[in-house]
Structure 1
């Protein structure tokens, strides 16, 4: 078998699967002549002699652009060739497939094989020139259809336009070639990236601000793929996407309902727009993880009550909210039943905005049915429901470049027409967008289109399930030996709804966990999730967002007699070049994106086992955490268990986990709106004070501890009394950070001076 290890997509590549390749027979000699003809046409040929090998090549080499397969190809099963074709079509419906056969064989082929193939090649009856021309034509047509509109136009422009007199000044990369540092930059990023870095003055590609030309066609294509009426490409991340939507929908003095579990960009958008926020407070569990906003808070009567009790509504022009923002899925992977949320909130607002920054893949796998904003509506009255918006960071868990984001819109009641919406869009968009970011949005849509989306998301789910089950099995095996091990935040048991069989999670059929949403539901009072009496079917855990839990906290919320702070495990993994997504007191989050492989998570399992061995043996920090000891020799060369014990003892004394839940569950009193607080900040009517002087004062900026990256206080909110939940939590963090440098928390809105937290507050009379 000839199998190139690397293949540039801009060359042509075909796979020939035939046992007669290179054989000293009439078909073998015909295959040799065809290979020579294809080489003359600049078409590289990969060859194989078995169906199993053909399946592997097709699934691992997306540069293959045509399949030539002999109906007599040997392999396992009753019909090896049909199995190859079935597998190919689950991933790729467009690739041209030629069956190598004779007319007599075709007359007896199964109908299914004829449906899955595109054409036939009579190797002994047609000339190599004729066959080569048909193959080349099929590949060229395929290449034209496989590239999405904007990316196709960009590649064409970069290929045919040799000279430019417009910005950017590096003119396709040539400026970089004039200095050693520039040459290194050029070599690192490559010619194609630099040639495709173009100016907005390139009319052939259209305009992002006017939504014309190939860029507009790309947005229209993405809207079709993601189920929206309109889609907008954004090159500044979902932070900008959230700001665009809020600025287009709500303005000064209008009420907006806001999930308190919001990203800080929503806080910024509310501040910039002048909206009056009324908050919807999500649940918290024993780990301090953020749960859903319970449905009882979303009823019309509950919304009316929340608005009436909000002191800021005195400045509102109306008592009816015009906009609502909900985070879906949450950072930790909790997904709402959007139909249910729409049913509840649709009575109170005309526009629903779902921040789905971490959730752009949901449409493409049935396990997420009805749990994303652009779900397929089966009601002809959908246009009478609320208008819906979704922001998605295509760079987070799809394959796009950093900062790539999309805004999806489905019009309903009170729609925002394009012209009005685009004014807000242009206010935040760059006039010099990076074309490669837009192109990566285009390609992300193409990767999800057709069967590819389900296959890719299915593979992510399967890898996450496999890892979860290995973790759960190891946990059970160590528990049987009365030893500790890490656990996964997931159901303890699952049931098969088809036959009623119950399984321990680690022993459940993997296929059941990969396809059945009911296995992941947060059922009422299930101890594992810790969110109490949730409405059945309301919330589901996303399989691909895997939280590993460390010992230290019981399901009743009480601290255990001993524990291992998750931060020391993350530091250990970092020393092994394994970077985690998020760490809380006793949880570590890992994201199983479409780029995760068995090799990656297998390495993670080995690293967790290594931590257990080192912890149990109390190996020294110089062996386990050498980087930590270099930066902070004050720890001394103690054992890693000794350090973990010290940290856990401090956390127990400070009650930091309980303080976290209390701090985020209590809604502070709002003294003024976010925009009023910001205006005071700009005027300089603020002062920066330490924590012991903040009692009764008003925050001038948001206070956002990481993790979890959610506002503890919004601008304009009061810190409360000296022992308030917010100040108590901040004091606990400050004390921990002083005692354990290099394990300090990252708190936006907090400045640290000599180990002490300082925060801006308003001074003088309130606005």
Structure 2
């Protein structure tokens, strides 16, 4: 067996190597247990022997990339197996499986003679938790062509170098080749640092397709010919792209000046071979400590220990108002005392001010900027709703134009009201079958910018605001959007609402579609001479006539002029939604090369406007700790989040009863084919198995976040709201957020476990069985009603309405249009009369306006006066529209679901909108009062707004 050629790793059954490894050890333990119970030379013995050998061969190439059990111990197991010492091999396998499961390998030496029966498992797990808290464990990758003996000697040297006062302990993994280093970086989530030190070949003995994809563009022969120092630098850049949080160290004998000019910011430090290893080990500890530090959390902990007398606000501080009470002691028992000991309004005594940070809070925000790839990061303690308003107010002045996805969070719409912006709403592509929207195609963004260019008002377009990723998991190609839009208007500011996407920074598949990563990449690209040459070639193909040809521009992949384009990007994260933070903990990330010159003062004013002078320090501390977590284990957590989502997709698609009533929407269901050049239509199907998700995320205009699982439930005859509340929550205690008429959205996150996935599958099976039984018991009449209900949820769905238009009273060019119209009317020419026949003044004005923006601030506040408004029910509003009247909404009208504004202040109510609203069977509609109807403007109120000379 030891001489058998190692097979290529098979992912046919598993989407994840980690899941395959976990199941491999579980299956091997069970198989070896059965093997030792059988008599030799029997069919069952031979069967178990063959299966055990197969699993060992499957695990062999995986285990070489982990420090435990490691190459040496795994080789021992194979030796015992080949020597037919099955009892010893079984004992070792069983102990390893247990130590991997409870992670006790991090602080406990392996002993083959220990068994679960011989130790107190609960006590062992508790000791491991305490040990990990006091001295966290990690692993270091060493890239170099070492023999097994050299590897073990290196490991022993590191173990001997450990000191009792070390803050961490670590073990070593050796990668002998360039590709092996890539594989180890992707496989081993324990890695926190990498030392690239010796001459090493390029190719691994293990041929993995996904490694080839990530090395696209890297010439293997060229790498083999490179001198050692340059090969190490190239590998460092590749590893940095995969996991930028990992510390990289280069050991070389090339001069410092020569190497320093090439390594850039990739390597933490460069060492020379004649230096003592002690300095290298110290640097590794120091590098991990930089990410481990939580300056504000530590300051708050220290403050809570101080004997402080409170003669200020907050009676709850130090828990005094609780402990002195005869009635609310249970509050302290429920929460514990520490939360109150750390409750304070002080900004001194080792703490800091959120509004003007100079100490630990300033450091905490700087560390967050480093973690998320931003130039600057600001903490927010009242959610991303406020974060969004801060950015909008900082960037947008009254009458600036902002291009916005209409299907964005309501905080953006209200932010536009506060800023006095003129808003150009764009519609995302509709998914009528599921009563939801996708995202805005780049062609629509370009088309809108071209409208303003032709109107001569492109200078007023300040910002593009998009949601990435959408609630339902549609993710933009951020790079393409920003490049093509900057090609038309090079000073555009981008605000990416990544409220549900904070985790994406910490996984290589997701990262390149995030705002901050793309901003840094574009800035570097615009400085690259190769890009300049590419741009000049592109510019030579685009004449002035070509730029005036809309179809040509819309169908050309545009490139921005690097001499003019400015990278100005903002992202808002609801840290509390997808990472570890207390509720309302959010962050604003800034990558704006003009921040200091154009925005800094306005940003701080906006921050002061919206940020509480009494922020919750517990929230701020949790943001600090959440940042530490993702810098040290974010890759592992996000990968497991993806794995569990993929497991759910596979189980539902493969289960005979579940697929009768349920199906997770596939990529093709959520993203039309025209936006999927990769051709990937599903991440998993029973017929084809797993698809190449990574290819879709690289190539397609829109990608689907696999951790968002939209479950189509129309076949059950139960609407989304009822399914959520009556079945999932009330009956089984499963909490979800979003529904549509015929779907419910599940999301895996970094806290999801395999047991919670198993429970969800169990619950869905029970619901399916219940529906099966209920349908069987139905009478003929009940069955017809049930079938009609299914039809209404799967076929008779109202089409999603597009944004209609703003009423001319609230559009920027109304007054000038009206003046021009009145001039034409005074001329009284036959041509004018003929053209105007059968059209209202409002229609004529609307035709004169060529840009779609409107001011929603004015109608928002106009509606505050009751005499400006009236109410119409559905029937009455239809009659008014039929008369030719422009019925104009005075409020935001937002049905839940689907949760996007059907109407905004100043928007004309179209027949399509009324039909959609009438067909909806949802109970919760914000801005609509059933007893009164729609709140709209009177015609007299609109007339006072559009009178010329106002």
TM-score > 0.5 by shorter chain: yes
Q: Does 1:58 align with 2:100?
A: no
Hey, what's the Cα distance between the residues in 2 that align with 1:369 and 1:145?
19
Q: Deviations over 1:540-559 (max 9, x none)?
A: 0001010011245xxxxxxx
Question: Residue 908 of structure 2: which of 694, 718, 730 is its match?
Answer: 718
Cα distance in 2, alignment partners of residues 652 and 333 from structure 1 = 21
> Cα offset for 1:518?
2.4
Count residues with an aligned counterpart. Answer: 614
Q: Secondary structure at the match of 1:764?
A: helix
- State the match for 1:386 in structure 2: 567
Query: Using the alignment, how far apart are the partners of 1:195 and 1:290 within structure 2?
Result: 47
Q: Give the 5 Å matches for 1:128-527.
A: 133-134=164-165, 146-202=292-348, 204-285=350-431, 286-299=433-446, 301-305=447-451, 319-346=459-486, 347-348=488-489, 349-375=491-517, 377-378=520-521, 379-381=524-526, 384-413=565-594, 416-450=598-632, 452-474=633-655, 477=656, 484-491=660-667, 505-506=685-686, 516-518=693-695
How far apart are the structure 2 equivalents of 1:134 and 1:354? Answer: 44
**CA contact 1:398–1:444 (8 Å) conserved in 2:** yes
Aligned partners of 1:166, 1:464: CA distance in 2, in Å? Answer: 49
Judged with a 3 Å threshold, the aligned counterparts in structure 2 of structure 1 residues 503 and 212 are, in CA distance, closer, same or farther, namely: closer
> Partners in 1 of 2:665 and 2:157 — Cα distance?
45
Distance in 2 between residues matched to 1:519 and 1:97, nearest whole Å = 33
Aligned to 1:729: 916
Partner Cα separation in structure 2 for residue 228 and residue 413 of structure 1:
14
Please report how far the alpha carbon of residue 585 of structure 1 lies from its aligned counterpart in structure 2 after TM superposition. Answer: 1.6
Three-state SS of the structure 1 residue aligned to 2:798 is helix
Give the whole-Å Cα distance in 2 for the aligned partners of 1:610 and 1:321.
Answer: 54
**Which whole-Å deviations, capped at 9, do the CAs of 1:462-487 have from their partners, x for residues lacking one?**
0000011111112xx359xxx82311
Alpha-carbon contact 2:395-2:599 (below 8 Å) kept: no
Cα displacement string for residues 74-110 of structure 1 (whole angstroms, at most 9, x for unaligned residues):
89xxxxxxxxxxxx9xx999835799xxxxxxx9865
Deviations, residues 645-704 of structure 1 (Å, cap 9, x unaligned): 564466689x4x324x1x246556564221001221334433444333444322122111
Find 2:708's aligned residue among 545, 563, 577: 545
Distance 2:397 2:156 in 1: 54
How big is the alpha-carbon RMSD for the aligned residues of Structure 1 and Structure 2? 4.2
| Superposed CA offset, 1:391-417 (max 9, x none) | 010011111111111000001357644
- Give distance in 2, aligned partners of 1:218 and 1:612: 49
Note if contact 1:564-1:645 (Cα within 8 Å) is conserved in structure 2: no
Other structure's SS at 1:205 match:
coil
Structure showing greater Rg: 2
Give the superposition deviation at 1:418. Answer: 2.9
Q: What is the deviation of 1:164? A: 2.6
**How far has the Cα of 1:231 moved from its partner?**
0.3
Corresponding position of 1:528: none
- Structure 2 contact 387–586 (Cα < 8 Å) conserved: yes
Query: Is the 1:620–1:639 Cα contact (8 Å) retained in structure 2?
Result: no
Structure 2 counterpart of 1:524: none
Q: Deviations over 1:176-232 (max 9, x none)?
A: 123344212222122111112210443521111113211111110000000000000
CA offset digits 1:475-516 (Å, max 9, x no partner):
xx359xxx823111124799xx99x99996246666x76xx4
Q: Distance in 1 between matches of 2:901 and 2:696?
A: 32
Q: Deviations over 1:340-381 (max 9, x none)?
A: 011122233521000010100111111114211011534253
2:887 matched residue in structure 1:
697
Partners of 1:182 and 1:638 in 2: CA distance: 58
Query: For 1:343 and 1:325, how far apart are their aligned partners in 2?
Result: 15
Q: Tell me how far apart the structure 2 counterparts of residues 118 and 165 of structure 1 sit (CA, whole Å).
A: 53
Per-residue deviation, 1:729: 1.5
| Contact 1:700–1:762 (8 Å) recurs in 2 | no
Taking structure 1 as the reference length, the TM-score comes to: 0.71
Cα distance between partner residues in 2 of 1:539 and 1:136: 44
Instruction: Note if 1:596 corresponds to 2:777.
Output: no
Distance 1:344 1:400 in 2: 35
Distance in 1 between the 2:783 and 2:298 partners? 56
Q: Distance in 2 between the 1:217 and 1:677 partners?
A: 43
Give the secondary structure class of the aligned counterpart of 1:298: helix
Task: Answer whether contact 1:580 1:590 (CA < 8 A) is retained.
Answer: yes
2:402 and 2:461 in contact (8 A); partners too? yes
User: Using the alignment, how far apart are the partners of 1:254 and 1:603 within structure 2?
Assistant: 51
| Structure 1: distance between partners of 2:586 and 2:442 | 29
Distance 1:138 1:520 in 2: 37
Unpaired runs of 5+ residues, structure 2, are: 1-67, 70-92, 116-128, 141-146, 171-284, 528-561, 672-676, 811-854, 946-950
How far residue 149 of structure 1 moved from its aligned partner, in angstroms, is 1.5
1:49–1:287 Cα change, 3 Å: closer
